[in-house]
Amino acid sequence: MTQRERAIAALTHEQPDRVPYQIGFTQKALQATIEYYGGDGFLQQIDNCIHDVIENPGPLQREISEDVWQDEFGVQWDRSVDRDIGNVCNRVLSEPDLDLLDLPDPRADAKWEGFADRCVAGSRRLVQFHHGFSLFERAWTLRGMEDLMVDMVERPSFVEALLDTICDYNVALVERAISEYDVDSVHFGDDWGSQRGPLISPAMWRRFLAPRLARQYGAAKALGKLVTIHSCGRVQEFFPDLIDMGLDCFNPFQPEVMDVYEMKATYGGKLAFWGGISTQELLPHGTPDEVRDQVLRLKREIGDGGGYILAPAHAIPGDARPENILAMIEVANEE
Q: Which residues contact 154 (CB under 8 A, 6 or more apart)?
A: none
Cβ atoms of 293 and 32 within 8 Å: the answer is no
CB contact burial 131-161 (16+ within 10 A = b; e otherwise): bebbbbbbbbbbbbeebbbebbeeeeebbbe
92-97 LR contacts (CB < 8 Å, sep 24+): 92/142, 92/143, 93/142, 93/143, 93/144, 93/147, 93/162, 96/143, 96/147, 96/151, 96/155, 96/158
Pairing, β 226-230 against β 62-63: unpaired
Confidence (pTM) = 0.96
Check residue 81 and give its pLDDT: 86
CB hemisphere CA count around 18 (13 angstroms): 13
Q: Which residues contact 221 (CB under 8 A, 6 or more apart)?
A: 227, 246
Q: Give the span between the Cα atoms of 119 and 127, in whole angstroms.
A: 6
- Give the domain ranges of the chain: 3-62+90-332
What is the CATH T-level fold of the domain 3-62+90-332, as seen in this structure?
Answer: TIM Barrel (3.20.20)
Check residue 174 and give its pLDDT: 98
Check residue 82 and give its pLDDT: 86
Selection from 276, 223, 286, 222 nearest residue 249 by Cα: 276
Q: What is the block-wise mean pLDDT of the chain (335 residues), using blocks of 10 residues?
A: 97 98 97 97 98 97 96 97 92 97 96 98 97 97 98 98 98 97 98 97 98 98 98 98 98 97 97 98 98 98 98 97 98 95
